[in-house]
A and B are shown apart, each in its own frame.
Chain A
C-alpha cells in the first residue's frame, strides 16, 4: 500500500517537470552565460533532469503499477521482499 501511495507522488512530479521545462522564473532575464542565454541552460539542464527522473520512474516499477500491473521481476527493478 505504501508503495502505491508513494507512486502517487509521480503525478505532481510529472506536473512540475512539464510546467518548469519552461524557465518561468527567468522571464525577461537577459543574462548570457557560457555563450548562450541563461534560460537556455535552464532548459538544457531541466531536460537532463527529466531523463534522470523518467529512468527512476521506470526502474522503480511505478511504470507498470501506474497501469495496475505488476512489474516483471528481473527487469532491474528494486522490488525487495515486501511484495508478499
Chain B
C-alpha cells in the first residue's frame, strides 16, 4: 500500500480577502465568533489526511460540515486558502493551471451528487467527455466510453439522452464517465444522495463489486453513516470543517471519539458493520483420524463443550462433549461426529449469517480456502449486536479484548 493522496493542514475560508479570518482562526477563535466579527465563513479548518492507493476513504458529515468543500479542494475546483494537497508529487493547491488541468485529465475524476450529466449530449458523448477534452479522436473515445458503459451495464443506452434515463441509471452514467478516463483517483460527492433508498442500496453493492475489480483510489463523500460503514475502508467523520475521528467502521462504532460520533453511531445497523471475524472465538479441534479420548482432551483444555473435526484444515464434522462421553474412548471421532457442520465465511457481515445462526449449533468460521479459523455461536452474534444499547461501556472493552488476542488458533496453518 502506497499513499496516493496527501492533504496537509488544508484550510478554506470564504470571503477572507484581508486574511483577518485566518489570523483569528489561528488564534483559536470559533467558527461562529469569526463569522460574527468578520463575515468570514470557515469552510475547512486545518484538515490533514492520507489516502492509500486502492482504498475507499469516506468523508462523512452533515450538511454544512465542509465535506463537499474538501472534496473540491482535492481536484482544485475550490483552491484551499492554505495547506497542500499532493497527488503523486504534484501539489494541486499550488501548481499552475496547466499542471492542474493535466492532473484532472490524467489522474482524478469526479462523480457528482446530481449526476451533472450534460443534457445536450448523448450518453456515450457524456461518458467520452473527458477523453474528448484530452483530444482523443472520436472512434477511440467512443470505444473506450462504450467499454466504460459496459462496466455499469448501460452500453445499450449509448445513444439515449440523460433525460430518458432514471436517476439510478443517470448516476451509473456519471460513474462510467468518471471511469472512462481511467483515473487513479475517483472523487464521489454524495453520488447516491439523490437516489431513492432501494436504488441507493443497489448502487452501493454495485460499487463494492466494481471496486473489487478496479481497485481505484476512491474518496467518497456522504451524509449517511450507514453508507459510510458499508463502503468505507476508512471513514473520516467531519464536523464544523474539521475531522472528528478517522478510522475503520469497526473502530468508529466500537470506540467513538466523542459524544457527537457516539450519537451518530447509536443509529447504526451494527450487523452491517461487524464481520464474523470480529467476533469469532478460538475453536477446539481435532484431526479426523483422532479418537474420542483425544477429542475430550482437547475440549477440556479449551474449556469447550464441542470440538471440530478437521481434515487438512477444513472442518468436516462437529463433535459434542456428550456424544464423546457416551462412546468408548478409543472410538474414532469420525464415527460419532455430526458430518457437515454449518460453516460461515470470516469475511461475512453479521447480517448475512442470521440464517445460518437459526440452527442453534455454533458455526465454524472459515477463511477463503474453507479452512477452519474459529467458531461463532448464536449468542456471540446477539451479544455484539446488542452491546452498545445495553451497556455503553461494554463494547469498548470487549472489542479491545478481541483485538488483543488472535481470533482463532489457526489449525489451517499446520
- Chain B associates with chain A: no
Chain B residues in the interface with A (C-beta under 8 A): none
Listed in ascending order, the chain A residues whose CB lies under 8 Å from chain B are none
